[in-house]
Homo-oligomer: A and B are copies of this chain.
Amino acid sequence: MELKRTTEGEKGFEKVFAFLRERLLAGSLKPGDRLISERELATLLGVSRPIVREALRALTVLGIVEIRDRIGTVVTRPDVSVLNDFFTFALAQQADMLDDVMQARVAIECQAIRLACERANIADFERLQRALAKIGETIDEADAGGMADFEFHRAIVVASHSETLTVLHSSMAGLLTHSHRSRRELVQAFPSMKTYLIEDHRRIFEAVIARDPERADATLRKHFAIGDEYRRRAVVGDVDKTSASG
């Protein structure tokens, strides 16, 4: 029965994965470290190389390590892409999750803006200002405008100086980029949105500058709410375009 006494009674893959997880979690394997070769790992744990590769591949998709061809396997700093992948897959199989993700994004961003009010430095302010200017310049362009919008919101999160919030936000923002763009397409149907987009973002910016978390949060929430309202009206076919046919 004692065919496997290397570590525990785990199966091959689990054994290797657990072995590596232990060292990873314990800190004996830190970002930048190079793991021993696959072959060594295999003989060390008494498993075959393909099994070791499975474990390494598993860690790779989790963004924990990076397998470099003909170089070796090195520990990396956890990366956003994992969450991105996950949300992408998750969303594909549950499209109704989109609204949910949007809610999470609002959550992250509202918390971020509060922190931003406390922690933002001059560079953050400048980045926000540039993004704000860009929004004004690209107000009539769907693509560039959507990008500018995205940049502004990203700047808020970056200004929070919170790695976790940034990671979460960017992993979700990727899925919502098209939402920024489609929002800009609404501008064609709702000229009044121009004012909304520019003024809202300006007010948000000013609240951060004033370092007023409550006002910033409230303004940002209102911003999202108005955006939702526009989208709702677009769905029902309502328009306020002066030259609208209906």
A163 to chain B, nearest CB (A): 5
* A212 interfacial by beta-carbon distance below 8 Å: no
A70 to chain B, nearest CB (A): 13
Chain B residues, Cβ within 8 Å of A82: 62, 82, 86
Known contacts being A94-B163, A163-B97, A164-B100, is A89 close to B107, with CB within 8 Å? no
Interface string of A108-151 (1 = CB under 8 A from B): 10111001000000000000000000000000000000000000
User: Among the listed stretches A24-32, A193-201, A226-234, which one makes contact with chain B, having 4 or more residues with CB under 8 Å of it?
Assistant: A24-32
User: How many A residues touch the partner, as a band?
Assistant: 35 or more
Residue numbers of A with Cβ under 8 A of B are: 13, 21, 24-27, 30-31, 50, 53-55, 57-58, 60-64, 77-78, 82-83, 85-86, 88-90, 92-94, 97, 100-101, 103-104, 106-108, 110-112, 115, 160, 162-165, 168
